[in-house]
């Protein structure tokens, strides 16, 4: 923590709730453009399956992490034993995490319903996800038998989510590079995701000022990391979409990728 006395300002509290609503709405809506694009094209070509495998693992971790902080008295007690201030998770964090998990599962189901060309998940992503799941099981067993605290287990889930966010976008960026195209990857998803990351970071800053404590950052490293990584990767995708691989505008190409073009013209 740092020196300033907590302000507990009503106006800052209201501002925090407003920012929370804005980032929650932006991040929640960011899942829909990709699902809608897949439905309109009746195809998931251009969407990295490695991204989806890692993403669903990350959201299982993040959902469990947020719900544990909000619902588990043991986790809350273990947290307060070493930290001052309120728990570092808001109900909006949990709502976003669970919503994100459900929408990711829906997007994965589309991979079995629509044309996917010759795309398959890579062995690397499958192996990485398997290692993460084994570590989840191992730390859960250790916590159950007293080798770790449940707070340690919950924090481990948050670190896994952060690790997923660090690497999950790389396969999609590489796929765009291989295809020299972002067709099949919704720019609407990217723009909403970027907006959510910015306002999530802003909310944490407001909370830190209001509480007079950096515990909102140190106690919830995953949320801080998610915000920073989201802004960085989404900025790169914007460069890919608008600068490196701009979509061709001739009528023949528009006809071939009409599902993508129609939706993304509405997003741009």
The pLDDT tens digits of the residues spanning 157-192 come to 999 998 998 899 999 999 999 999 999 999 999 999
Provide the pLDDT for residue 254.
Answer: 46
Provide the pLDDT for residue 267.
Answer: 52
Provide the pLDDT for residue 255.
Answer: 46
Provide the pLDDT for residue 100.
Answer: 94
Give the H or E element holding residue 257. none
Token pair, residue 247, equals 């979509």
Q: Please compute, for residue 225, the number of CA atoms within 13 A of its CA located in the half-sphere on the CB side.
A: 16
Provide the pLDDT for residue 264.
Answer: 52
Q: In the chain, which residues have pLDDT < 70?
A: 1-8, 213-220, 223, 249-268
Mean residue pLDDT of the chain comes to: 86
Provide the pLDDT for residue 90.
Answer: 82
Q: How many whole angstroms separate alpha carbon 246 and alpha carbon 242?
A: 5
**What's the DSSP call for residue 103?**
H
Provide the pLDDT for residue 196.
Answer: 87
Cβ 224 vs Cβ 217: under 8 Å: yes
Provide the pLDDT for residue 89.
Answer: 87
Residue 170 CB neighbours (<10 A): 15
Provide the pLDDT for residue 226.
Answer: 75
- What digits encode the pLDDT tens for the residues 14-46? 898 898 888 889 989 999 999 999 999 999 999
Provide the pLDDT for residue 252.
Answer: 38
Provide the pLDDT for residue 112.
Answer: 95
Provide the pLDDT for residue 253.
Answer: 41
Residue 137 CB neighbours (<10 A): 10
Short-list 164, 158, 178, 181, CA closest to 125: 164
Provide the pLDDT for residue 220.
Answer: 66
Sign (positive/negative) of CA torsion 121, 221, 138, 151? negative
pTM comes to 0.80
Provide the pLDDT for residue 262.
Answer: 52
């Amino acid at each position: 923590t740092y020196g300033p006395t907590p302000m507990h300002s009503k106006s800052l509290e209201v501002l925090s709730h407003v920012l929370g609503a804005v980032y929650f709405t932006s991040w929640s809506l960011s899942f829909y453009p990709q699902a809608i694009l897949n439905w309109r094209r009746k195809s998931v070509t251009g969407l990295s399956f490695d991204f989806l495998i890692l993403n669903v693992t990350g959201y299982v971790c993040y959902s469990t992490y947020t719900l544990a902080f909000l619902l588990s008295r043991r986790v809350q007690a273990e947290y307060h034993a070493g930290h001052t201030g309120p728990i570092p998770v808001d109900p909006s964090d949990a709502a976003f995490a669970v919503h994100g998990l459900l929408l990711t599962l829906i997007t994965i189901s589309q991979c079995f319903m629509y044309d996917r060309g010759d795309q398959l998940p890579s062995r690397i992503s499958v192996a990485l996800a398997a290692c993460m799941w084994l570590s989840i099981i191992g730390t859960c067993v250790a916590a159950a038998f007293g080798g770790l605290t449940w707070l340690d287990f919950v924090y481990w889930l948050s670190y896994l989510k952060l690790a997923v966010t660090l690497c999950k976008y790389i396969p999609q960026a590489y796929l765009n590079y291989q295809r020299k195209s972002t067709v099949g990857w919704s720019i609407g998803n990217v723009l909403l995701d970027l907006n959510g990351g910015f306002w999530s970071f802003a909310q944490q800053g407001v909370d830190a000022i209001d509480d007079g404590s950096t515990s909102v950052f140190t106690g919830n490293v995953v949320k801080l990391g998610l915000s920073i990584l989201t802004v960085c990767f989404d900025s790169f995708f914007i460069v890919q979409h608008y600068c490196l691989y701009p979509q061709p505008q001739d009528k023949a190409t528009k006809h071939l990728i009409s599902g993508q073009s129609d939706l993304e013209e509405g997003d741009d």
